[in-house]
Structure 1
Amino acid sequence: MTRDEIDRAILRSLQASADQSTTQLAARLGLSQPAVWRRIKRLEEAGVIARRRLVLDAERVGYGVTVFLGIKLATKGRVSLEDFERAVGAIPEVQSVAHVLGLYDYRLRVVARDLADFERVLRRRIMTMPGVGDVEANVLLSEERRPGPI
């Protein structure tokens, strides 16, 4: 699918605030509402817009600690990657699971109420999963969210 500058402007605007109406987008971009709606539908059908989601402020809903975990599997032959991903995906505090190349096999984003809660999740849920070997934890101090390079 070929995207033009109008498509890129729509994508940038939706990245900044996905809850905008097509009427608001149209006014901002100097287009008609039906034209913006058709373009958004085309971008969704082409898979360029995968989904829209609500982003909660974790701290305001009681999860004041975010930790990035690097996990190296100890027994890659005995525990399949799919089994690990399925098991870690069942832990509600794990917000994202990334299979990566490098020192660790996986990078997890984990939220917890506080450090004691994180320790509980780590000891009781993550470290007890089969195949978990080395683990490195990095506590998030601050974060600046940026839109992608559209």
Structure 2
Amino acid sequence: MIELDDKDRALVRALAKDATQSAGALGRELGLSQPACWRRIKRLREAGIFRETRLEVDAAALGFGVTVFLGVKLATKGRVSLEDFERAVGAIPEVQTVEHVLGLYDYRLRVVARDISDFERVLRRRIMTLPGLGNVEANVLLSEERRPGPI
């Protein structure tokens, strides 16, 4: 882990808010030259602070109006069943995130669908056929108030 100073932390916050900003614009905002800002960005990237740059897509604007969080409890435990489950669930395009968690469930899935009947189709034909699947609990997203941001 690298040591971060105040400028590094400000840079992380600025890029977490808008990763499309140029090093020159960020430098002006933070009181750094463009080359100094670029060197800091490069150092943070090489240290693993920035994992990737991604475009945030509005699922509803693309016709996916329903988001459902599934709590999944596997019927059997073991390395083979975990790997089989993860490989199979990773192949379902409607499953946006797969989180291996500790607690009541083994996995937490974020699933998008066009509407409730589309979600039912995904649930019946794809999710309920996953290897090692035990119990499933669904929670439909009503609204999302806080988006992930800088730590």
Whether TM exceeds 0.5 here: the answer is yes
What is the CA–CA distance in structure 2 between the aligned matches of 1:28 and 1:85, rounded to whole Å? 43
Instruction: Provide the secondary structure at the position in 2 that maps to 1:60.
Output: helix
Shift of 1:78: 8.8
Deviates more, 1:5-14 or 1:24-33: 24-33
Which amino acid counterpart does residue 41 of structure 2 have in structure 1? Answer: I
What is the CA–CA distance in structure 2 between the aligned matches of 1:82 and 1:70, rounded to whole Å? 17
Q: Which runs of 5+ in 2 are unaligned?
A: none
Equivalent residue number for residue 33 of structure 2 = 32
Equivalent residue number for residue 98 of structure 2 = 97
Equivalent residue number for residue 13 of structure 1 = 14
Q: Is the 8 A contact 2:12 2:150 kept in 1?
A: no
Deviations 1:5-58 (A, max 9, x none): 000000000000111111111111121111110000000001111111011011
Q: Size of the alignment, in residue pairs?
A: 149
Which amino acid counterpart does residue 150 of structure 2 have in structure 1? Answer: G
Instruction: Provide the secondary structure at the position in 2 that maps to 1:70.
Output: strand
Q: TM-score, length-normalised on structure 1? A: 0.95
Q: Which runs of 5+ in 1 are unaligned?
A: none
Q: Is the 8 A contact 1:65 1:139 kept in 2?
A: yes
Q: What is the root-mean-square deviation in Å for CA atoms of aligned residues?
A: 1.2
Query: Is 1:145 matched up with 2:120?
Result: no
Equivalent residue number for residue 123 of structure 2 = 122
Flag as ranges the 4+ runs of structure 1 deviating above 3 A: none
Q: Is the 8 A contact 1:70 1:106 kept in 2?
A: yes
Q: Is the 8 A contact 1:79 1:131 kept in 2?
A: no
Shift of 1:148: 3.0
Over 3 Å counting, the alpha-carbon distance change for 1:131 and 1:78 in structure 2 is farther
Which amino acid counterpart does residue 51 of structure 1 have in structure 2? Answer: E
Instruction: Provide the secondary structure at the position in 1 that maps to 2:131.
Output: coil
Q: TM-score, length-normalised on structure 2? A: 0.95
